[in-house]
Structure 1
Amino acid sequence: MNDTVGSIIHPMSKIGKLLTRMRENPRDWRIEEIEVIATRFGVDVRKIR
C-alpha cells in the first residue's frame, strides 16, 4: 500500500497502515493498537492493574 502526498508516492510503514485503519474506523480501536502507536511516538505506556 502506498500513500500519495503532493504527487509523490511514499511506501507506508506498518504504523502508517495502522493509523490509516484507525482513522477509517475510529470505533474499532483496541487498547493494544493505541499502546503500539504511543510507544512508536515515544510516549511511555504504563499498565495499571
Structure 2
Amino acid sequence: MRQELGVSERRACRALGQNRSTQRKVQQGRADEERLTEDIIELADQYVGL
C-alpha cells in the first residue's frame, strides 16, 4: 500500500493506526499451535452435545 500511494512508512502507519515495528516484524506462531488447535476442536466436539 505504501509503495502504491508513494508515501513514507511513517505516514502510512500513522494513517492506518499501526505501530511501525509491525511492518518489519515477522509473525511467529508457537511450535505446538497446530496440535493445541486440534486438541481444542476435539474437546469441543466431545462437549457440544451436553
TM-score, structure 1 as length reference: 0.28
Higher relative CO (Cα under 8 Å, sequence separation at least 6) belongs to 1
Higher fraction of strand: 1
Larger radius of gyration: 2
Higher fraction of helix: 2
TM-score, structure 2 as length reference: 0.27
